[in-house]
């Protein structure tokens, strides 16, 4: 029997006004397990109106300490129920339980981190040329913000947006992906238990029609979107027609660069985790592995050995190391990309198809796949695949590594593996990306800002910079000179 979910609007669990629903498929069994409402434009407008009422009722003016208290209570509930919530997300998108559980616990950390800022939204005193005019700035919430998340890590992506928005005093309307909505709706049961006022947090669900309704609605003051560059352009264009600012966290084709002097055992682990963790379905995947020629053959051989030993299976089993692709359309896109890579001349080292083990035959599994001798102008090196596909590119010199690394339309993340401090510093400055990891990869922290350049989007999430994205500055001037300053009076 399908688990039937409802949307969460104005503190109530509601059915879509259209009466339409769609099934959520477990990508491991390919069987429907949940029923999700398909929101209409009216439902979206109802959610926006609820958020606006909650904001006007005082959420934005509520003392930060009181907002923080609710956020901290929510964090405790999320942490208490993290196992149940992570199981739901794993069932929804096929990501292994060991990763979804860690991401849900990190969501609690995000709530606590930003709760600490809720009563510390400070402005600044600004010295002016006139000594008799006092000038200061203050940070205010935008009001109502739309948060649109993707299917690969719904709770993790939500935690990059929602805590900062709440701490700043905004009310929100959430729109999760139609491919993975259940965990966000379950999260709202925790919101309800924590005691947030009605309308502060609302969720509408559905397909691209709902995403378009959210991005084009006139009731928002800002939109934060995570997804593909193509969808990001559509969101930005729709928001621009209403002069609404956006935060866009989009895709990546991130270089993971291994120099000859690197600690190779660590670098190989970093390369494996960089692409095969989460089945490669992450925007920060190190999908281009640049390896200096002197250690190229050794690195490729060891990566192949390790990749062939990755355990695939039931994503809800803690022993499973790599789960399924999240949905059928994504599975099909990845398989097509593998075929095109073969046709382009890239050398397939391992993987490249569906695993043959009987217990994997029903799930959307793709073998960990490595292509060697890839040229950076190949499609596999230029286009985000969003799957467990690694393109290994040889290089000779540091200058060549920089040229290859920066030669994509993306600019999200980069990894550098070297024991030469001077080289590490040069590479940090040379990388045209929003994030650079040195001797590690895919490491995140609540305090560390995250975001990209070029086709990877703009704006930042997490850290003080992420908080600032959900506030807008107001400047205040106070003239205490007692002078009229009449521009129409004659001067003598």
HEC states along the chain? CCEECCEEECCEEECCCCCCEEEEEECCCCEEEEEEECCCHHHHHHHHHHHHHHHHHHHCCCCHHHHHHHHHHHHHHHHHCHHHHHHHHHHHHCCCHHHHHHHHHHHHHHHHHHHCCCCCCCCCEECCCCCCEEEEEEEEECCEEEEECCCCCHHHHHHCCHHHHHHHCCEEEEECCCCCCHHHHHHHHHHHHHCCCCCCEEECCCCHHHHHHHHHCCCCCEEEEECCHHHHHHHHHHHHHCCCCEEEECCCCCEEEECCCCCHHHHHHHHHHHHHHHHHCCCCCCCEEEEEHHHHHHHHHHHHHHHHCCCECCCCCCCCCECCCCCHHHHHHHHHHHHHHHHHCCEEEECCCCCCCHHHCCCCCCCCEEEECCCCCCHHHHCCCCCCEEEEEEECCHHHHHHHHHCCCEECEEEEECCCHHHHHHHHHHCCCCEEEECCCCCCCCCCCECCEECCEECCECHHHHHHCCEEEEEEEEECCCCCCCCCCCCC
Reply yes or no on whether 283 is catalytic. Answer: yes
> How far is it, in rounded angstroms, from Cα 282 to Cα 274?
9
The dihedral sign for the CA sequence 453, 458, 459, 461? negative
Q: Give every CB contact of residue 182 below 8 A, 6+ residues apart in sequence.
A: 3, 5, 24, 34, 36, 88, 89, 91, 92
| Active-site option among 249, 302, 321, 469 | 249
Name the CA dihedral angle for 192, 466, 448, 177, rounded to a multiple of 10 degrees: 60
> How far is it, in rounded angstroms, from Cα 9 to Cα 204?
8
Two tokens at 187?
């999260």
Answer whether 441's CB lies under 8 Å from 270's CB: yes
| Active-site option among 99, 171, 283, 302 | 283
Reply yes or no on whether 171 is catalytic. Answer: no
- Bin 16: left if φ > 0, else alpha if -120 < ψ < 50, else beta: beta
> How far is it, in rounded angstroms, from Cα 92 to Cα 41?
25
Q: Give me the active site residues, please.
A: 249, 283
């Amino acid at each position: 029997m399908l688990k039937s979910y409802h949307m969460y609007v104005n503190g109530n669990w509601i059915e879509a006004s259209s009466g339409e629903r769609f099934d959520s498929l477990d990508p491991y069994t390919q069987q429907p397990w949940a029923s999700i409402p398909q929101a209409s434009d009216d439902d979206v407008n109802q959610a926006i109106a609820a958020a606006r009422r909650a904001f006007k009722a005082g959420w934005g003016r509520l003392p930060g300490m009181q907002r923080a208290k609710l956020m901290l209570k929510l964090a405790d509930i999320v942490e208490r129920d993290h196992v149940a919530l992570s199981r739901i997300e794993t069932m929804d998108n096929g990501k292994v339980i060991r990763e979804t559980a860690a991401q849900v616990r990190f969501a609690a950390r995000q709530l606590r981190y930003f709760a600490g800022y809720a009563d510390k939204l400070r402005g600044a005193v600004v010295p002016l040329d006139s000594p008799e005019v006092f000038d200061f700035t203050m940070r205010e919430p935008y009001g109502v913000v739309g948060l649109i998340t993707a299917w690969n890590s719904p709770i993790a992506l939500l935690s990059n947006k929602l805590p900062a928005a709440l701490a700043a005093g905004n009310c929100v309307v959430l729109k999760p992906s139609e491919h993975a909505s259940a965990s966000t709706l379950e999260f709202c049961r925790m919101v309800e238990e924590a005691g947030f006022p009605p309308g502060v947090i609302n969720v509408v669900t559905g397909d691209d029609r709902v995403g378009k309704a959210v991005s084009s609605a006139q009731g928002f003051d800002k939109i934060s979107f995570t997804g593909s560059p193509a969808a990001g352009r559509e969101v930005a264009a729709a928001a621009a027609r209403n002069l609404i600012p956006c935060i866009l966290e989009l895709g990546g084709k991130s270089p993971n660069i291994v120099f000859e002097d690197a600690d190779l055992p660590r670098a190989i682990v970093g390369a494996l985790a960089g692409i095969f963790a989460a089945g490669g379905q992450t925007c920060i995947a190190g999908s281009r592995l640049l390896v200096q020629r002197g250690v190229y053959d050794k690195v490729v051989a060891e990566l192949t050995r390790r990749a062939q030993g990755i355990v695939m299976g039931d994503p809800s089993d803690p022993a499973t190391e790599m789960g399924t692709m999240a949905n059928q359309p994504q599975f099909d896109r990845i398989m097509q990309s593998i075929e095109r890579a073969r046709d382009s001349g890239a050398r397939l080292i391992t993987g490249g198809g569906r695993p043959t083990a009987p217990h994997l035959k029903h799930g959307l599994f793709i073998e960990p796949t490595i292509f060697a001798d890839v040229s950076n102008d190949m499609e596999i090196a230029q286009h985000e695949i969003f799957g467990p596909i690694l393109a290994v590119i040889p290089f000779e010199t540091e200058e060549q590594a920089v040229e290859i690394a920066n030669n994509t339309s993306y600019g999200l993340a980069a990894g550098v593996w070297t024991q030469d401090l001077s080289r590490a510093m040069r590479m940090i400055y040379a990388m045209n990306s929003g994030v650079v990891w040195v001797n590690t990869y895919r490491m995140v922290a609540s305090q560390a800002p995250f975001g990209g350049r070029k086709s990877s989007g703009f704006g930042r999430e997490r850290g003080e910079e992420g908080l600032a994205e959900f506030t807008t500055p107001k400047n205040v001037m106070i003239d205490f000179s007692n002078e009229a300053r009449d521009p129409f009076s004659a001067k003598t």
